[in-house]
C-alpha cells in the first residue's frame, strides 16, 4: 500500500503539507502547498533566459561584424579575423541573398543585418512557444497561523494569519 501512495503522490500536481507546533501558551500552524507543475514552468523560464542571453551574444557579435565591415577594418587584424571566423557560420545562409554594396572601401553588409533580424525573430518565436507551454510561474503558497495565549486564561488569545507566495 505504501508503494501505491508514492506513485499517487508523484502524479499529483499540487501537494499540501501542514505542520503544527504546540507549546504551552503558543501554537503555530503552517501549511505549505507545492505546485509541481508550476515548478516545471519555472524551469522553462530559465530556458527562456538562457535563450535570450545566447541571442544577445549572437546579436552583439553580428553587430560588431557589421561595424568592422562598415569602417573597413584591417582584415588581417587578430580581432577582425576572430569576429569574422566566429560569425561566418551564422552569415553563411544569407551570403548569396543580395549583393553587398561597397563605398570607398567600406562594405555595407546588408546580409548581416538581415541575419540579425531573422535570428531575433526565430529566438522570439521559440521563447513564445516555451512560454505558452510553461504557463504561469507561481510554485508555492505558504499559509501560517500563530495563536498566542496571554495570561488570564481562555479568551485572551491572539491569532495571526499570514499568506505568501514563493
Contacts for 9 with CB less than 8 Å, ≥ 6 apart: 15
Query: What is the pLDDT at residue 16?
Result: 73
Query: What is the pLDDT at residue 158?
Result: 66
Query: What is the pLDDT at residue 11?
Result: 43
* Residue 73 belongs to some domain of the structure: yes
Query: What is the pLDDT at residue 132?
Result: 84
Beta bridge partners of 146: 28, 160
Query: What is the pLDDT at residue 133?
Result: 80
* Residue 153 belongs to some domain of the structure: no
* Residue 59 belongs to some domain of the structure: yes
Find the angle CA(4)-CA(10)-CA(14) to the nearest 5 degrees. Answer: 120
- The Cα 48–Cα 52 span in angstroms is 6
* Residue 23 belongs to some domain of the structure: no
Model pLDDT for residues 62-87, shown as the tens digit of each residue: 999 999 999 999 999 999 999 999 99
Query: What is the pLDDT at residue 2?
Result: 37
Smallest Cα–Cα separation from 56: which of 131, 116, 126, 129?
A: 116
The number of distinct structural domains making up the chain is 1
Find the helix packing angle between 36-70 and 110-134, rounded to 10°. 180
* Residue 3 belongs to some domain of the structure: no
* Residue 76 belongs to some domain of the structure: yes
* Residue 165 belongs to some domain of the structure: no
**Spans in the chain with pLDDT lower than 70:** 1-13, 135-166
* Residue 129 belongs to some domain of the structure: yes
Contacts for 106 with CB less than 8 Å, ≥ 6 apart: 69, 70, 71, 72
Residue 65 domain boundaries: 37-136
Amino acid at each position: 500500500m505504501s508503494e501505491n501512495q508514492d506513485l499517487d503522490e508523484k502524479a499529483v500536481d499540487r501537494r499540501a503539507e501542514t505542520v503544527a507546533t504546540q507549546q504551552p501558551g503558543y501554537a503555530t500552524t503552517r501549511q505549505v502547498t507545492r505546485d509541481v507543475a508550476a515548478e516545471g514552468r519555472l524551469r522553462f523560464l530559465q530556458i527562456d533566459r538562457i535563450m535570450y542571453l545566447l541571442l544577445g551574444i549572437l546579436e552583439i557579435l553580428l553587430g560588431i561584424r557589421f561595424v568592422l565591415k562598415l569602417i573597413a577594418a584591417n582584415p588581417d587584424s587578430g580581432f577582425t579575423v576572430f569576429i569574422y571566423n566566429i560569425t561566418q557560420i551564422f552569415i553563411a545562409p544569407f551570403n548569396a541573398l543580395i549583393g553587398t554594396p561597397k563605398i570607398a572601401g567600406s562594405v555595407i553588409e546588408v546580409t548581416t543585418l538581415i541575419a540579425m533580424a531573422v535570428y531575433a525573430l526565430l529566438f522570439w518565436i521559440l521563447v513564445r512557444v516555451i512560454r505558452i507551454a510553461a504557463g504561469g510561474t507561481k510554485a508555492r503558497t505558504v499559509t501560517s497561523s500563530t495563536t498566542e495565549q496571554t495570561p488570564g486564561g481562555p479568551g485572551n488569545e491572539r491569532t495571526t494569519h499570514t499568506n505568501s507566495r514563493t
